[in-house]
Amino acid sequence: MYTLTVRDHFMIAHSFSGERFGPARNLHGATYVVDATFRRAELDADDLVVDIGLASEVLAAILAQYNYNNLDEIAAFQGRNTTTEFLAGIIQRQLVEAARSNGLGPDSERLDSIRVSLGESHVAWASFEGPL
Using 50, 70 and 90 to split pLDDT, how confident is the model at 56? very high
Residue 29: phi, psi to the nearest 5? -110, 160
Using 50, 70 and 90 to split pLDDT, how confident is the model at 53? very high
Residue 2 host element (H or E): strand 2-14
Using 50, 70 and 90 to split pLDDT, how confident is the model at 44? very high
Second CATH level (architecture) for the domain 2-131: 2-Layer Sandwich (3.30)
pLDDT given at position 72: 98
Q: Name the packing angle between helices 84-100 and 52-64 (round to 10°).
A: 130
Asked if 31 contacts 10 with a C-beta cutoff of 8 angstroms, the reply is yes
Using 50, 70 and 90 to split pLDDT, how confident is the model at 57? very high
pLDDT given at position 113: 98
In sequence order, which ranges of 4-130 are alpha helices (DSSP H)? 52-64, 84-100
pLDDT given at position 93: 98
Using 50, 70 and 90 to split pLDDT, how confident is the model at 103? very high
Query: Percentage of residues in the chain with pLDDT exceeding 70?
Result: 100
Taking phi over 0 as left and psi of -120 to 50 as alpha, with beta for the rest, 18 belongs to: left
In the predicted model, what is the mean pLDDT of the chain? 97
Provide mean pLDDT across the span 95-108: 95
Provide mean pLDDT across the span 1-5: 98
